[in-house]
Chains A and B, each alone.
Chain A
């Protein structure tokens, strides 16, 4: 491998940034079990270094923005495949977010996982995930990106199954990996098409490809994105993935991995044709609405958040499909903060409740919001952080969610146009999500923090090390960090990454009033703690998955039968016939041939008085040789 690029500072910085989490994983894995308490500390320090480097990278590479730093990976069929870093504003900011959230999750995990027996493995995989995620974000080549894409799926599999002694966790991890793999196959097929069309998979040059396959290739890649970003109908793995440790859910299944699909969507935007964009928009809209409805009817605190993630991801995908790319990307960043905050908040609640349970004999499900309540007073800091993040999710003014949502809504209304068309239904979906989101998150907050407590448990506020990340993420979700004036929407992030946040003031007014109406409605619906029948879109998808799996198993039992009954049966039949034939010839040999020879012999004896010994043994072999000679002779003649 020869370096075809000067080892510039930027390149070295990016390389170090990428390898730090990998080294962190290696150090963790090699830590002796006796010193497993060291793993959280070392890996958090590595992540801190990584975060600092990502800031440096952001500052340094401003002059080189949009350039790819490549070196040769391998050559096949004379075509050189390069790997390297594509550092543009999208990836640079994403790197910042990934390393920051990862750092906060590492810190949170020190407290949350303190009593876990497999710290070494947990922090090792966490580091490995961060490595894969950073690689995915920075890769300049689709094949390399796919490389990391699958590694991200692998680490997600390992982390969901961290408590693999629990059956549910084990099967959730398998399910997540298989559904992701389904998407990956489609992604791979998309890569085959692009390779066949151009023999070049560099992201920068994607826009130059012209091929009749382009539309199909785009849809294939998007199906890969659908699995990773939990889009309909491939989202049913995400709620189950909540079996993993909560910090993992925050990092992987809320902030980064599931967002990777949306990120990729923005990266490869040039290859999407009009037709594939329609497909993307429709899928996104269906997902956004289904996810929001799903969140409304769940009782498990983590599953509510998982459905909310599905809904928000659908919202982003829909936005990008309609061309509101900048809004979608901004929302992706904001979502990473507030959703990670919500998950870590939920983790704090679960942790506190578990700790309280340790002292009693109470064995209720602490993740069921019906069993929670009144936590506002017992966990005041967590409450504060959680509510701020919830407000950002609902899109209340003065929060980050508000800015990006307004951008998307106004862009979409321009896209939908004033004349009635199918686009209006998409717009309707977007508005319904805007209304449903405050409703379900209000329900969650109400049940958890305000409603009368349903248990005798006396939870205590969680340790400082777990409070810091939640508060940090909550701060990241309020608007004053991003905008000096949330009405004029001159955003700091906007200036930083040359976005121009914008919104139609009518739309802003309408959306704010809808959100407020929705919150009021929520208050009246939920204040008495009413429950609702379960309306669970996952059940239907699970059912269809079961059908596919059952069918595969049926098929495999058929092929197994085919092997043992038919193919082997045939072979056995042939050998049976062979052996029977051998018996027959053996019998004929003994009775007929030997008889003949014996007869000849006795005749010879009678005539010539030859000795007996020749007759029995040797003449037989003479005969054999004569036959062989004859066969060889015939063969010669034939040619």
Chain B
């Protein structure tokens, strides 16, 4: 059926088609984009009917892509290899939904519509492609393909400081990609396909890379490799490079400062995509590549991973507290919430990993809401400074209701998806000490402070902006409440956050098999009898 390929390439083809449409039909671009997103939604439904949550990778499409005979160097082999499992399916579903909402949110874009929607459609395909790719080279191609559209979307359609923000975003992400690329090359040289032909066939297949039996003995990244570079073996270095490469995306402290700038300057739909989808590649990359390929190194560095997560949680929340700009505050809250993902992954327990995936989905839904909310206000006044608003609850009742939903969902109020993810992460991180000894219990206990600080900055924002008597500095007329298009974007997200907060099993049906297999294959408890 090639459902996955359709999902990936329909937007890319549509994006290329837009190039052919003359600019004077500028009204058609957004309609076309919307149509693409709706078609994708239908394909997604078909995928769900095909998908069987009990068995591993499904909807596999595998076509030889590059095959080069390099003589004595063996064979270079890369494949077009895409599939879905319990990790990628929830994220792909999230992507389709968020991209649909981002397209609706792009309805009001006026500046150079043609260019905007071309980039948006290419970005769309690249995001979904990255989540599906199981060939490391293919992943890398899709991954890089996200970078350029994003750079231009911030750099052309952004706010006053857009050049600075877009270059910063570009350089940071590029640095991350280079680190990942180095490891890809190293892995490529160290991994062969399992078929027992006399010739060594080098492969980018991630599933082969995840199996230690396929490591070429004597290669730099082999398990028995004794060569050291400074204090660490090559394997440890490779893990560190992947780790840094992916936590730049996540982003975790201290590689996070591109995020607030990019968010503040990006137009609302781009912020939504950035927060809800692009950040997820940090957690996804660790769970798909870094952890399964280098489980030994992951265990070695688990304390570090957990600690970086913990620092991000607290540090991000503290910075959110001091932010004067609403979007900046939300951006820092993203840093804090993605820190939980890191903490869950670091615990390498089923609860922690499940919680990390759950948190990624819930953060995707909730952060999209948060940025849409900031956008609603910015559309009306071109002003995001918290201190310039007061008593909004008096005039904008529905808006306030959605703000309350989004804020409380984000601070982990039960009934919303964020609570479930965080509770699982806490359970996992706390029991890590007794289960596998990877994380000390104080990490989970200290991380709860993030929830308190979260309540602090959100409630303080509500108190300053929404409570008190009505006053808006940069608007002479009363602000209008939500319009229909804004309802159309916010309501589904609120309902989704509520649905996954009350019926977690809907998501866990997919995540549970993945998390159980993840832990039992690479981090089984037998490994830690004497931690």
Contacts and interface: CB of A to CB of B under 8 A. Distances in A.
Interface stretch (A563-571, A584-592, A599-607): A563-571
Interface in A151-205: 151, 154, 157, 161, 164-165, 167, 170-171, 174, 177-178, 181-182, 184-185, 188-189, 191-193, 195-196
Nearest to B454: A181
Contacts of B318: 552, 555-556, 559-560
A571 B414 contact: no
B503 to A, nearest CB: 7
Given A146-B414, A553-B322, A556-B319, A567 B254 contact: yes
Interface stretch (A74-82, A425-433, A621-629): A74-82
Interface in B312-330: 315, 318-319, 321-323
Nearest to B255: A567
A1 interface: yes
Contacts of A188: 423, 426, 448, 451
Interface residues of B, number: 58
B174 interface: no
Contacts of B467: 161, 164-165, 167, 170
A280 B178 CA distance: 57
Contacts of B455: 177-178, 181
B459 A571 contact: no
A170 B453 contact: no
B105 interface: no
A557 interface: yes
Contacts of B41: none
A497 B391 CA distance: 49
Interface in B496-512: 503-505, 508, 512
B503 A1 contact: yes
A422 interface: no
A143 interface: yes
Interface in B89-119: none
B interface, over-half SS: helix
B415 A174 contact: no
A556 B466 contact: no
A575 interface: yes
Interface in A41-78: 72-78
A566 B126 CA distance: 34
Contacts of B5: none
Contacts of A524: none
A77 B452 contact: no
Nearest to A557: B322
Given A178-B452, A182-B452, A568 B257 contact: yes
A639 interface: yes
Given A556-B319, A559-B319, A575-B171, A177 B427 contact: no
Interface residues of A, number: 50
A553 B319 CA distance: 9
Given A76-B350, A167-B468, A151 B413 contact: yes
Given A178-B455, A196-B431, A571 B257 contact: yes
Nearest to B317: A556
Interface in B415-458: 415, 419, 423-424, 426-427, 430-431, 434, 444-445, 448-449, 451-453, 455-456
Given A75-B512, A77-B354, A560 B430 contact: no
Nearest to B469: A165
A96 B318 CA distance: 44
A170 B463 contact: yes
A140 to B, nearest CB: 16
B168 interface: yes
Contacts of B414: 146-148, 150-151
B430 A193 contact: yes
Contacts of B462: 174
B84 interface: no
A76 B452 contact: no
Contacts of A553: 321-322
Contacts of B505: 1, 72-75
B394 interface: yes
B372 to A, nearest CB: 21
Interface string B383-412: 000000001011000000000000010000
B460 A174 contact: yes
Contacts of A185: 448-449, 451-452
Nearest to B457: A556
A633 interface: no
A420 interface: no
Given A165-B467, A639-B220, A196 B430 contact: yes
A552 B504 CA distance: 34
Interface in A228-260: none
A636 interface: yes
Contacts of B393: 164
B201 interface: no
B516 interface: yes
A185 B219 CA distance: 49
Contacts of A192: 426-427, 430-431, 444-445
Contacts of A181: 451-452, 455
Contacts of A568: 257
B343 interface: no
Interface in B336-372: 349-351, 354
Contacts of A170: 463, 467-468
B206 to A, nearest CB: 21
A76 B434 CA distance: 18
Contacts of B419: 147, 150
A87 B460 CA distance: 39
B189 interface: yes
B528 interface: no
Contacts of A575: 171
Given A178-B452, A556-B318, A575-B171, A76 B508 contact: yes
A195 B319 contact: no
Nearest to A167: B468
Given A1-B503, A154-B413, A560-B319, A76 B512 contact: yes
B73 interface: yes
A620 to B, nearest CB: 25
B315 to A, nearest CB: 6
A76 B354 contact: yes
Given A164-B466, A164-B467, A196-B431, A154 B189 contact: no
A412 B413 CA distance: 39
Contacts of A191: 423, 427
A372 B307 CA distance: 59
Contacts of B315: 559
A77 B350 contact: yes
A174 B431 CA distance: 32
Contact of B508 (A74, A154, A556, A563): A74
A559 B332 CA distance: 11
A120 B96 CA distance: 36
B452 A556 contact: no
Contacts of B321: 552-553, 556
Nearest to B353: A77
B474 to A, nearest CB: 21
A147 B463 contact: no
Nearest to B505: A74
Contacts of A171: 463
29 contacts: A75-B505, A76-B427, A76-B512, A77-B516, A147-B414, A150-B413, A151-B415, A154-B413, A170-B463, A177-B455, A178-B455, A178-B459, A181-B455, A188-B426, A189-B430, A189-B445, A192-B426, A552-B453, A552-B456, A556-B319, A556-B322, A557-B322, A559-B315, A559-B319, A559-B322, A563-B257, A563-B319, A575-B171, A639-B219
Q: Which 7 A-B residue pairs are closest in the complex by CB-CB distance?
A: A170-B467, A77-B350, A196-B431, A192-B430, A147-B414, A164-B467, A556-B322
Given A189-B448, A192-B445, 19 more contacts: A73-B504, A74-B504, A77-B351, A150-B413, A151-B414, A165-B467, A167-B468, A170-B467, A174-B460, A174-B462, A181-B452, A185-B452, A188-B426, A192-B427, A552-B318, A552-B456, A559-B322, A636-B73, A639-B219
